[in-house]
């Protein structure tokens, strides 16, 4: 994987993760790296869900790729918040 591609994924993940954090109500104690990871993981979740419904692969160049990635990041964030609700921060 080229360094340019990795930087592109990180920037994309940061943008998508930030949008997801803005859309989900409540406090999310995530830093910059975790927000980027949320966006990247959300893009995989969104791509997977998109391929289930359409039968094809969602691409980043298409607007539905951005929407799917954001939706996937929102789903990932909500699941993370539900799973970490019972934990006590030390």
Mean pLDDT of the chain: 81
Residue ranges covered by each domain of the chain: 63-89
Q: Flag whether pLDDT at 32 surpasses 50.
A: yes
**What confidence score (pLDDT) does residue 86 get?**
62
Average pLDDT score over residue span 62-80: 83
Spatial separation of the C-alpha atoms in residues 22 and 32, rounded to whole Å:
14
Q: 34: buried, middle or exposed (CB in 10 Å: 19+, 13-18, 0-12)? A: middle
Average pLDDT score over residue span 21-44: 88
**What confidence score (pLDDT) does residue 61 get?**
46
Q: How far is CA 60 from CA 30, 36, 37, 65, 79, in A?
A: 24, 16, 17, 5, 23
Q: Flag whether pLDDT at 81 surpasses 70.
A: yes
Per the model's pLDDT, the better-predicted residue between 89 and 5 turns out to be 5
């Amino acid at each position: 994987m080229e360094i340019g591609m990795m930087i592109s994924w990180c920037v994309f993940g940061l943008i998508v993760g930030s949008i997801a954090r803005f859309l989900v109500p409540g406090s999310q104690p995530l830093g910059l790296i975790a927000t980027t990871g949320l966006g990247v993981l959300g893009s995989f979740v969104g791509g997977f869900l998109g391929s289930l419904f359409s039968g094809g692969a969602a691409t980043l160049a298409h607007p539905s790729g951005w929407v799917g990635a954001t939706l996937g990041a929102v789903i990932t964030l909500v699941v993370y918040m539900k799973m970490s609700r019972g934990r006590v921060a030390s």
